[in-house]
Structure 1
Amino acid sequence: MTSIAREAIPVAARHDIYPEIDPEEHFKGQTYRGKVVIITGASRGIGEQMALMYAQAGAHVVIASRKQETLDSVRKRILELVPTAEVLTVPTDVAIVEQVETLVAAAITRYGRLDVVIANAGTTPEFKDLLGDEDPFACWGVIETNLRGTYNTARFSLSHLAKTKGSFVAITSGAASMRFPTMSSYGISKFAINRLVEFIHLEYPDVLTFALHPGVVDTEMGRKQSAYAMDDSPQLPAATTIYLTSGKADYLSGRYIAADWDLGEIYRDWKEKITKEDALVNRLTVPT
């Protein structure tokens, strides 16, 4: 594996659950009891871990991915861990507007509210073709799944989240702030997600909104990105998301955050700088 630098706050790197974000307090206190959580891309990897953790914390979990059989497998694993959990499965292709509308409607019909929505569904190319050599349909497919899928998920959930003063988390990538050949479609889609989060924060200030880089996790999708060492556990972004949506990091709403940043260190040493300078958002840099 080669190492490619990305823009980041200089804090300790975390690769698994650490004390600041430990979800055990939420499990014991049932922080999310009675709350409703939608997770797209929940059939495996990071999305599956998120579903498991929110269920352990007491939430009603609505899980979505394209195939019913994979959702059934995740539902089974959740119920093995939390036999009393409420789990609704809704097959959904997030790039298709009508299917996302159906997903949100199913959650509202069953539970009457939304408290947390996590736009986790996404895809990545293999990073092997220059822009002029890439299949144009494959390129646009990446952008459709990543960006349009996140937009669709936000479009149909935000009005409900505003009522509960809930949270919207868009899974982005450190690739949004990186530039190297063969990454154009993926990098563009993730960069645009970061800006979308900024607009959501502006237009829905009562909704906590985060663009979260999940770290580099050994998942089926992550293995396509051979430039990275996959050092991060899937539990790391799941626990980070529980932490963010619990209201412990409101000052980061509307911003880009990475799961492998130590959020305790950021709070202690960087919170004032971040808020004062409105940092962790997209902007042009101007030479001084």
Structure 2
Amino acid sequence: MENLPKDHFVTSLQFTKNVYQDVYPSIEPTRPELSVAGKVVIVTGASRGIGARGIAPAFAKAGAKAIVLVATNAAKLATVEARLKAINPNVQLLSVATNIADEASVANLFATVKANFGHADILIHNAAVSNGAGVIHEQDVDTWWSNFEVNTKGTFLLAKSFITALPTLDTPATLVNVTTAGAWLVIPFMAGYSTSKLASQQLLAHFAAAYPSLTTISLHPGLVDTDMTDPAFERFNKDTPELVGGVAVWLTSEKAKFLSGRAIAAQWSVDDLVEREKEIVEGGLLQMALNGKLGKEQFQ
């Protein structure tokens, strides 16, 4: 990858005419149109990286009633709580140390949410792992499979509990899954991470089909500098955590509902996406599909 331009992972995946790598006016979370006042928001992977620096602060700025911070490290979650209180003194905060790959731990999370708030309106599923480097013959089986335990099974467990906890299955709610462009590309040395994230992305398409009142969108965050960033990507231009947070808030708005069951990248202009709504919906765009002309009619 040493010969690729520094903006390769923006331009090569560009779907909208305009692209961004930092917050811009349409996704500024303090805009009244993006208010999530009265809403309870769960953010997983909230102790560090994009969750702590981008997503949770954005929902605090957007006026959430409450933010439930989820990660395995309780001490780090306490630090994030202090940061959010400085942003919005009125937001209610609840930290729940959770192993999202464990059914009992996830059940405890949602029992705690129920006891404090009844149910959550928004789930931003950001937690993930990238375990094991190297091509397939170099991989330890258990390490490789651990990606699926967290990234795929974890997505299923969280979504199942989130949906089950809603007052009715017709209750409007939003589930945003932070995915990766690695789910769309072939990266041989990241096969475990990429394929496990692809599976979680496809789960959201199934949720969208099964629950029409639930808006489910997968969000590729771009290339954000975190402790999960593979050294191979260090030389490329980075996107800010604030960009991801602003887009995550926008995805909970009415304008984003047409994207349910689809995947987008944080760098894509949300204004351009809205302008292309008819094309995206009628053309079945931004969904995973087998690339080829199918059907017996072509041979008749």
- C-alpha distance in structure 2 between counterparts of 1:237 and 1:122, whole Å: 15
Equivalence map 1:20-35=2 (5 Å): 20-26=26-32, 31-35=35-39
- Tell me the residue number matched to 2:51: 47
- C-alpha distance in structure 2 between counterparts of 1:38 and 1:225, whole Å: 32
Larger Rg: 2
Deviates more, 1:167-176 or 1:228-237: 228-237
- Tell me the residue number matched to 1:164: 171
Answering whether residue 82 of structure 2 is matched by residue 76 of structure 1, we say yes
Shift of 1:122: 0.3
**Residues 10-55 of structure 1: CA deviation (Å, up to 9, x unaligned):** 53221001122122214xx782222100111000121112112212
Letter in 2 for 1:148: K
Deviates more, 1:257-266 or 1:154-163: 154-163
Q: Secondary structure at the match of 1:283?
A: coil
Aligned mate of 1:151, from 152, 156, 162:
156
- Tell me the residue number matched to 2:203: 196
Answering whether residue 107 of structure 2 is matched by residue 122 of structure 1, we say no
Shift of 1:222: 2.1
Answering whether residue 243 of structure 2 is matched by residue 236 of structure 1, we say yes
Q: 1:63, 1:71 within 8 Å by CA — same for their partners in 2?
A: yes
Shift of 1:157: 0.3
Q: Give RMSD over aligned pairs.
A: 2.0
Letter in 2 for 1:58: G
Q: Secondary structure at the match of 1:157?
A: helix
Aligned mate of 2:269, from 262, 265, 271:
262
Uncovered stretches (5+) of structure 2, i.e. residues with no partner: none
Shift of 1:108: 1.4
Q: 1:131, 1:182 within 8 Å by CA — same for their partners in 2?
A: yes
Shift of 1:7: 4.8
- C-alpha distance in structure 2 between counterparts of 1:30 and 1:266, whole Å: 16
Name the % identity. 32
Shift of 1:188: 0.5
Letter in 2 for 1:44: R
- Tell me the residue number matched to 2:141: 136
- C-alpha distance in structure 1 between counterparts of 2:216 and 2:17, whole Å: 22
Uncovered stretches (5+) of structure 1, i.e. residues with no partner: none
- Tell me the residue number matched to 2:184: 177
| Shift in alpha-carbon separation, 1:272–1:163, aligned structure 2, 3 A | closer
Q: How many residues align?
A: 284
Q: 1:124, 1:224 within 8 Å by CA — same for their partners in 2?
A: no
Give the TM-score of the pair, scaled to structure 2: 0.88
| Shift in alpha-carbon separation, 1:136–1:227, aligned structure 2, 3 A | farther
